[in-house]
Chains A and B, each alone.
Chain A
Amino acid sequence: MNAGGPDGTTAFLVNGRPVTVNAPPLRRLADALRDDLGLTGTKVGCNAGDCGACTVLLDGAQVCSCMVSLAQAAGRHVETVEGLAAKGRLNRLQRAFLRHGAAQCGACTPGMLVAATELLRASPRPRAAEVLDGLGGVLCRCTGYRKIVAAVLDAAGDAPQPLATPPAGAAVGARLAKLDGVPKLTGAERYGADAVPEDALWLRIVRSPHDSARVVLGNLMEDAARPGLERVLTAADVPYNRTGIYPDLRDQPVLAEGVVRYRGDPVVALVGTREAVTAVRDEDLPIRYEPLTPVHGLADARTLGAPLVHEETEGNKLVEGGVERGDAEAALADCAATARGRFETAFVEHAYIEPEAGWARRVGERVELFVSTQTPVMDRDTTAEVLGLAPTQVRIVPSACGGGFGGKLDVSIQPLAALAAWLTGAPVACVYERPESMMASPKRHPAVIEARMGCDAEGRLQAVDFDATFDTGAYASWGPTVAGRVPVHASGPYVVPHVSARGRAFYTNGPPAGAFRGFGVPQAAIVHEALMDDLAAQLGMDRLAFRLKNALRAGDATATGQVLEASAGLVPCLEALAPRWQRALEDAARVNADDGRVRRGVGISCMWYGIGNTALSNPSAMRITLDREGRLILYNGAVDIGQGSTTILAQICADALGVAADRIAQVIGDTDWTEDAGKTSASRQTFVSGKAAELAGAALRAAILREANAADDATLEFAGAQVVVRDGGRRVEIDLTRLKADAAGVVLEGTGRFDPPTTTLDARGQGSPYAAYAFGAQVAVVDVDTELGTVTPVRIHAAHDVGRAINPTQVEGQIEGGIAQGIGLALMEEYLPGKTENLHDYLIPTIGDVPEIEVIIVEDPEPLGPFGAKGVGEPGLVPTAPAILGAIRHATGVRVTQVPALPHRLRRALLEREARP
């Protein structure tokens, strides 16, 4: 009656091949596949059956391999993502995923593919509802699911053809499949936890269970001693025990120095074998906590005499920023209509499917990190600073990144894994479990915003007064960025002559709040759009027409006094939505005519978003080389976190150079090889790094043309060690082997650098903080069950001005994914420390929660951008929540002032409204 084979092994079939695993029978099948069999295509996102990333087929039925014991696989057939592509050729389903852009970061993709495989075997031509049911157990945080559904429906149809690669010069604007898409579909892609050396030690961080406490450490090595435990790192082991985003704000200890400031604050780090560091129970360690009165939320933080989260920060106020234009107070007094409101938002978790992961090794007097990140150069510099090394002594090799959304802009495992590797000389890996990821990682800032908005009798906006306070949690992280960006955007994408906008961030004993898709602008948009609806109602104007009347256009000045010179495409977005808006209103009126308990509502919302850092330099540099064998390599420092920069930059560079995009190989993000392309954040990679890639491609083209003495409009043909240049009737062959080569064999190269022209903001917040702005508008249709307070999105129309869609499929993917996160922000997402530290208590939208989405791409070219493009990473999210809230209000008359609009909150508001006379 023992498990498995007589010798303690377990034998089963994997993808048709017999295997034998010698490991404990209770081991999770996911771990056995990944660690014992090296099949790391199966991803672990939660170890709790909440995310479905680890889905495999067990005798044909989909199961979470994190909840199946190794012994239970004995004698059975396990099918994983690695088994889908027969003989290295993508199967129909995989090809459909590639063509539809159904994989973004790729972390959920193995689970999605496997779940869909079960479905398609049982139901080769499924209905959409069957697809939702079949894939309902796999969470995706990037795509918004719609392209996944489309891919599964399409895979079941006629054999999908692979997307043809566009010829030279036609890449920009083409629906090119992701250049890094295939490994994401076969399981070959390597994420942070996927390439850990077998001899690696593991590091586990012991974190505070208290929001605020004094900490006293006993004799750790003595008390925790056990075979396999090599070291226990404390603050005393860290050469420079501080990290932080801003050079003057290094406020976050790597390991606690006598106090902890949030539930999740790192206290000590255990280094040893994986078994040993897992086996240590935190409560058995000689760590004594003396709990202190915690500061919870903004009201606490601002109370006179409140405990100070950081002794040196009076009143717990981290930072404030503001924009002052005209005289808002006086103008409001003169307005024909004014609206006011107070709005609250919650901590929101990024919930990328890949938790933080990576490993470090020491190589002589250097340390190398393979890690999931959005910002390799900042990681390098922070790690060097913590270890007391020069930046050149640290190398970051980014792994594939299984989702970021801003959450991987702060260091996680980097400093401690590097330190442990430095001290022990062994490779050291660290992989967060889901609860640790949720406890430790930064969040979207909770905000309390009070605002007033006023217009004249004709409906022209006159003034906005806006006061936002943000809970930045225990450490600054990107708090100052949020406090600075929000006032600039506070008056919305409208012409407002008088603006007074203030943003302040306060420390609390909550989780650090940092960067999250939109840097505070999604919270601000909830406010300005609710007030816009108020004003329209007061004036009896149509909500869309009112927005159209006030929309920023080229030539208008923003609240910071910046005159928009071009590419301000809000008006065409609204014009494209207008007929849909009318139809949706008529449809809602029909649905509501029977006065049933389910009421349909339609909402509209506008957004704008400054691309890149706020009033700060944020350059990117790119380099493309041609070697003597004719290879083109783009040294691309922009990490692709799933949003698609690897493909986008190749498309841009290829067209600038005059070659087909798939001819360009890339080295991505490796800090030893690539120039600094800045952070993958602020929707900046297409615009900033894209421009640098365009310049680099153009520079290489110019170098080649010089060799051939050819004119600008000559065409290039790359054929092995030869470049053939055709210039009118002239044909020149450049023999690359005869050109002078550097040590790496490079014969010609092009470099490009772009730093968007911005100015600093003066004392009144006046200046040009961004070189380009994205614009957009969305219409949301929802059904509200008035008896239960539940909201079901029915349809969303999203029109976004992206300047130029370099790759329309990816643009749609960004917008749809943003919309899904906007639905979560509006309706379900609220992180509560200690209560929602997993993916079943913290809810993100599932495949059944994202309705049909129509994306309308508007292209008002941005003269500074590559081929007219600007950014789209964040814009899709910004208008969704306000549009949904507007729709709820249209359906029920309730103005929601707290998100998420959980059923119990909305029901209470509905009852209060009914009770009002």
Chain B
Amino acid sequence: MPEYLRPTALDDALAALSSRPLTVLAGGTDFYPARVGAPLDDDVLDITALQWMRTIEEHADHWRIPALATWTDIVEADLPPWFDGLKLAAREIGGRQVQNAGTLCGNLCNASPAADGVPVLLSLDAEVELASLERRETMPLAEFIRGNRQTALAPDQLMVAVRVPKPHAERARGHFLKLGARRYLVISIVMVAAALEADAAGRVVRAAVSVGACSPVARRLPALEQALAGRPCDAALGETVTDAHMAPLAPVDDARGSADYRLDAARTLTARTLAGLGSMM
């Protein structure tokens, strides 16, 4: 009989993780689909009884989205426009059912190249909080995800939260666009997230742009970000984008789209994301 642990205290969960290999279960939206027709024989640590780890909190210099916050929690949270991109991503994930059950942290730990949460959080310079019985650490998301379904999570560690640093500028906003071959329940062909901070004169002081599903891990576009700095925030921001800015991407051919197409669509979608964001700032 496989083990099934459902602790109500975090230390109990961490103690269990430190003692033996366990599969962590939260929203179940990646766990069960990976086991269709297969026996359910994993030893499981179900963390969903840690319900206090669900409330999104504002701290002095960051927002904290804990392990059990679902996509719906994010959509319904009272968050500044900095999170608009994240909210848009949350609305585009799966159907309502997945949004109600699936968690942002689970999406990051699953580390699919097409994970909808990753590009947005990269554009927000998010960090992840990892906990084990012995230690707590905070790590940039960009370091946490190491490859296609590969992360820096140690077997005894649990991701307990995502931290999103507050923007420095007063005018700060995020945006997100996803391209798929149908309206709902669709895995992205390409997705783009962007976050801009502007000064009082309406000029970009900081830009962050990232693209998902076009490389094993979503990538930021640093050359584009530099090119955007100092430009006035308006729809013309989209015209900044060039083919060269897409250099960090390395898309593959698959049933959803060819590599060439992905690159082409990434550029188009990036331009649209920036044009949209620029005009909303």
- A residues sitting closer than 8 Å to B (CB atoms) are 1-4, 24-28, 46-50, 52, 55, 58, 61-64, 66-69, 71-72, 115, 118, 132-134, 136-139, 275, 278-279, 433-436, 787-790, 827-828, 830, 832, 835-836, 838, 840-841, 843, 845-849, 902-904, 907-908
Contacts and interface: CB of A to CB of B under 8 A. Distances in A.
A147 B33 CA distance: 30
B182 A67 contact: no
A49 B185 CA distance: 9
B32 interface: yes
B268 A49 contact: no
Contacts of A52: 95, 97, 185
Contact of A436 (B37, B185, B265): B37
B4 A24 contact: yes
Contact of A67 (B7, B32, B265): B32
Contacts of A1: 5-9, 12, 16
A836 B5 CA distance: 34
Contact of A788 (B9, B98, B100, B179): B179
B42 interface: yes
B265 A903 contact: yes
B28 A69 contact: yes
B37 A433 contact: yes
A843 B46 contact: no
A787 B1 CA distance: 55
Contact of A47 (B1, B32, B262): B32
Contact of A2 (B1, B5, B36, B186): B5
B176 to A, nearest CB: 16
Contacts of B255: 830, 832, 835-836, 841
Nearest to A836: B255
Contact of B36 (A48, A134, A835): A48
Given A26-B2, A841-B255, A903-B257, A279 B181 contact: no
Contacts of B95: 52, 115, 136-138
Which 3 pairs between the two chains have the least Cβ-Cβ distance?
A: A137-B95, A848-B183, A904-B261
A46 B4 contact: no
B33 A2 contact: no
A828 B101 contact: no
Contacts of A24: 1-2, 4, 40
B12 A62 contact: no
Contacts of A133: 91, 96
Given A69-B28, A828-B182, A907-B264, 6 more contacts: A3-B6, A24-B40, A67-B98, A118-B96, A828-B181, A908-B261
A840 B28 CA distance: 16
B6 A2 contact: yes
B39 interface: yes
Contacts of B184: 132, 136-137, 846-849
A830 B257 CA distance: 12
B72 interface: yes
A67 B28 contact: yes
22 contacts: A1-B9, A3-B5, A47-B37, A52-B97, A55-B97, A63-B97, A63-B100, A64-B29, A72-B46, A279-B39, A788-B268, A789-B265, A828-B181, A836-B255, A840-B33, A846-B185, A848-B184, A849-B184, A904-B262, A907-B264, A907-B265, A908-B258
Q: What DSSP secondary structure best describes chain B's contact surface?
A: loop
A849 B32 contact: no
Nearest to A115: B96
B4 A25 contact: yes
B151 to A, nearest CB: 21
A788 B163 CA distance: 34
Interface string B231-262: 00000000000000000000000111110111
Nearest to A59: B100
Interface string B169-189: 000000000010111111101
Contacts of B4: 2-3, 24-26, 69, 71
A134 B91 CA distance: 11
Contacts of B5: 1-3
A247 to B, nearest CB: 35
A835 B253 CA distance: 12
A69 B25 contact: yes
Contacts of B189: 903-904
Nearest to B9: A1
Given A2-B6, A62-B97, A67-B28, A904 B48 contact: no
Contacts of B262: 904
B278 interface: no
Interface in B1-35: 1-2, 4-9, 12, 16, 25, 27-29, 31-33
B15 to A, nearest CB: 9
Contact of B39 (A28, A55, A137, A278): A278
Nearest to B34: A48
B94 interface: yes
Nearest to A114: B97
Given A52-B97, A133-B96, A904 B12 contact: no
A508 to B, nearest CB: 19
B37 A25 contact: no
Contact of A840 (B32, B100, B187, B257): B187
A116 to B, nearest CB: 11
A528 to B, nearest CB: 27
A138 B94 CA distance: 10
Nearest to A276: B39
B200 interface: no
Contacts of A835: 254-255
B60 interface: no
Given A62-B100, A789-B261, A907-B264, A843 B32 contact: no
A139 to B, nearest CB: 7
B182 A71 contact: no
A836 B94 CA distance: 17
Nearest to A840: B187
A26, A61, A132 interface centre (most CB from chain B within 10 Å) = A26
B96 A27 contact: no
Contacts of B31: 67
A48 B185 contact: no
Contacts of B96: 62, 115, 118, 133-134, 136-137
A46, A139, A832, A843 interface centre (most CB from chain B within 10 Å) = A843
Contact of A72 (B28, B97, B100, B181): B28
Contact of B72 (A2, A26, A48, A61): A61
B224 to A, nearest CB: 18
A907 B261 contact: yes
B44 interface: yes
B34 to A, nearest CB: 9
Nearest to A827: B181
B101 A137 contact: no
Contacts of A838: 36
Nearest to B27: A67
Contacts of A836: 255
Nearest to B28: A67
A214 to B, nearest CB: 26
Nearest to A48: B33
A24 B44 CA distance: 12
B257 A902 contact: yes
A433 B2 contact: no
A162 to B, nearest CB: 29
Contacts of A136: 95-96, 183-185
Contacts of A907: 261, 264-265
Nearest to B264: A907
Contacts of A902: 181, 256-257
Contact of A50 (B101, B185, B268): B185
Contacts of B257: 902-904
Contacts of B201: none
A50 B97 CA distance: 10
Contact of B33 (A26, A49, A69, A275): A49
Contacts of A118: 96
A845 B180 CA distance: 12
B28 A68 contact: yes
A448 to B, nearest CB: 20
